Amino acid sequence: MIQSIIEKIRSIPHRIERARFKKIVQRVYDTPPVEVTPDADLIVVSQVHHKAVEMSLLSLKTFLSKFDECGLELIDDGSLTADDIEAYRSHFRGVKIIPISDVELMGCPQGGTWERLSYVVQRSQDKYVIQLDSDTLTLGDVDFVKQKITSNKPFLIGGPNYAEPVDALAMAKLATSWNSTHIQGTSESHLDKLVPKYIDHYVRGCSGFTGFPKQGITQQVMSSISEIMESAVGSDNWRRWGTEQVTSNILLSTFDDVEIAPWPAYQNYGFPFVDNEKDTPTLVHFIGTHRHANDYYRMLAYMCINDLFESKSDQEFVSVSD
């Protein structure tokens, strides 16, 4: 009882900041629409949810603004309302919205973001595909990403602890020593099952921002890797939330030339925390753990929305104190 009360008290600052953030981010509905290019060689894929529509509108607009031509395909996780769909269609002219039930899984687990990963792999047969989470903000020129697109090479967002690919067998041995009950560590302890047929190195990053090269990997390979890992960790474990994160890392690890995006220019906020006072990052992924730990996400959202308003001379800027 006392512990429950303590936890509620500790959560108060987060709840207050979340409410203040929501008041700011709702202004994204007034920002100008974006023209997308359905037949572009580059497409952005994102899985969207009713409770995060405003966040994803801002995430997608800040990213798409960095490209002259880019397609946009959204996976409706089943929670979108008619108003949500209309909002996406009005803000992104030419967007394609796919019901999650239409995604072919080819024997892979259902739920979490498995459908998103499967769809990304499917679309990468014809396009260079960037997977972008709804809780990202793009603040600078994404030159690193553009280089990867031009050269048709993969990338993912990560951190300083695993800034480069590591030997897969060494990673499996290290993960085994952790005796982890978390599905990521458990799965990584069995990476040796994929050597050498599929991988010889491993990139430990995050699926929240990834680049999949055109014609780089097939759904058959993804299904085979999933089958091997499911056999290794057990069916119940493999169908838990989080295995899609590991699988995204594994799929990108099949490429010899995969790179982690340079940190801290591209960062998962709070993993680890970094002083951003000196240099504004290029792209920040606000994973839920630290999303509203302070006012940083709100301040950046405020700045991004005001930037989007610049093309609308009759629109008043938002106030950060709202």
**pLDDT for 161-204, tens place per residue?**
999 999 999 999 999 999 989 999 999 999 999 999 999 999 99
Give the DSSP H or E segment for 62: helix 53-64
The answer on pLDDT for 9 being more than 70 is: no
The whole-angstrom separation of Cα 217 and Cα 222 is 8
What's the half-sphere exposure (Cβ side, CA atoms, 13 Å) at 144? Answer: 21
269 neighbors 291 (Cβ within 8 angstroms): yes
> Residues with Cβ < 8 Å from 205, sequence gap 6 or more?
156, 157, 158, 159, 162, 249, 252, 260
H helices, E strands: number in the chain: 11, 14
- Confirm if 41 and 214 have CB atoms less than 8 A apart: yes
Domain 31-291, architecture per CATH: Alpha-Beta Complex (3.90)
Amino acid at 225: I
Q: Encode pLDDT of 116-142 as tens digits.
A: 999 999 999 999 999 999 999 999 999
